[in-house]
Amino acid sequence: MSVTIDETIAALASAPGSAERGIVRISGEVIEPLRRVFSASTDWAEARSARGTSGHVRLAGFDDPISARLHFWPTSRSYTGQPMAELHLPGAPPLLEAALSALYETGVRPARPGEFTLRAFLAGRVDLVQAEAVLGVIDAHEQQELEQALTQLAGGASGCIATVRGDLLDLLSELEAGLDFAEEEIEFVSREALVQRISQALERLNEIAGDASRRMVSAPQLRVVLAGLPNAGKSTLFNALLGNAQALVSSSEGTTRDSLHASIEWEGVALELIDTAGWEGDVAGIAEMAQEQRSERIAEGDVVLWCSACDLPDAERANNGERLRAAQAVASHVLPIATKADCRAQAGEGDVPTVSAQTGVGVDALRSTIAGLIRDARVGTRGLIGSTSARCHESLERGRESLERAIAEAEEGAGEELVAIELRDALEHLGRIVGAVYTDDILDRIFGRFCIGK
């Protein structure tokens, strides 16, 4: 990507297709091109200083002037750090294309993908982590992803990394001051304090790196698996949670053989709901294959709902408890629930949620509980969206390695100049994350994924 910021650029900033209003965005030396396209209803000097000015545009192919509204931002207040404006017009695609063509005829060039946000980065309005969050907001498919991207855009992830960089810069300055006065009997930082401060920085990096790794490998939708003994009401509950009948339901054991999958969203949380075969003992043939599949689904589940029927015979209670413990041994989170509350031969125990898929009792509360568990599973990522986590992974690893070497050298009594080299190396790697250090390849990789107009 050729980094050129002295050219004036324009592009459609609103979504493609017809709409009530459309937006044409322009950044750079915007005044002269706009004067040739837009006629303000007030004095032009007043229009330049106003947040919104009404007027009209005359466009080739249209006999009558088109009403429009101009929004202008001076350099210090704009997204790109340059003079920037937006023309708000009726959202007919031919009209918007004509408005862009009129601007291009004045010498304005079409913006490349992500070029407005690239200019915001180069102007220091956002760092690289925040720039990627803009794309995360655009690409969000569910409320949780949107919140994650907005947190990153607000500087949640950048702030953590910036704090570590700031602490390391302070420490490096003290080390280098000591090197400058090596012949004097002045100790700017003791060995003990040196190791302690680098260790604290490494600990914080380890937390950020762990969060990034979890974000990289997380599935687009987390999985909620229904499991339990045969005839525990799993399929009936599956249908009740979905709000429609997808699973066959019968009082006979072993009705479910294949796992059933359905995507659904509750309280802004997207997940995949999976119904599995009942946990049986010695079986063969298709039933055996169903049991193997059921075991795999339980191990892969982010949350496993272990269904125990309220009318479970006393003779099966020990077996049910044994199977529950087996599921807890392989699954990341198992939530026991009491099903068939309408039968009420025996109630659920303790704080175990009790539901009746037949009457609907407890189903809404269970949905909220599941959504909360899934939401908690995604908390703690410090605002890192998946694309940022992937890009940052190598730099975080290299930064951690540099700090580990710095600690080893400090503990072994190596010269402070060697420790300083490792600190500078760590700072360079962390600088690549937020954009304090960057190359054209990094910019290409990030901003090339944007759509035009952003």
Q: Which residues pair with 260 in a beta bridge?
A: 275
Q: What pLDDT score does 415 carry?
A: 83
Measured distance CA(307)–CA(304) in Å, rounded: 9
Chain-centroid distance of CA 312 in Å reads 43
73-99 pLDDT, tens digit per residue, is 877 678 888 999 999 999 898 899 999
- DSSP-H helix ranges across 140-190: 143-153, 156-180
CATH, domain range 128-435: 3.40.50.300
Does residue 230 have a pLDDT over 50? Answer: yes
Query: What does the block give as tokens for 30?
Result: 């915007």
Q: What pLDDT score does 268 carry?
A: 65
CATH homologous superfamily, domain 9-125: Probable tRNA modification gtpase trme; domain 1 (3.30.1360.120)
Give the chain's largest Cα–Cα span. Answer: 89
Q: Three-state SS for 23?
A: strand
Contact by Cβ (8 Å): 283, 291: yes
Query: What does the block give as tokens for 172?
Result: 């490096």
321-343 pLDDT, tens digit per residue, is 999 998 888 887 899 999 988 87
Q: Decide: pTM greater than 0.75.
A: no
Instruction: Write down the domain spans for the chain.
Output: 9-125, 128-435
Q: What pLDDT score does 300 carry?
A: 81
Measured distance CA(429)–CA(296) in Å, rounded: 40
Q: What pLDDT score does 382 carry?
A: 44
Q: What pLDDT score does 251 carry?
A: 44
* 46 vs 122, residue with greater confidence: 122
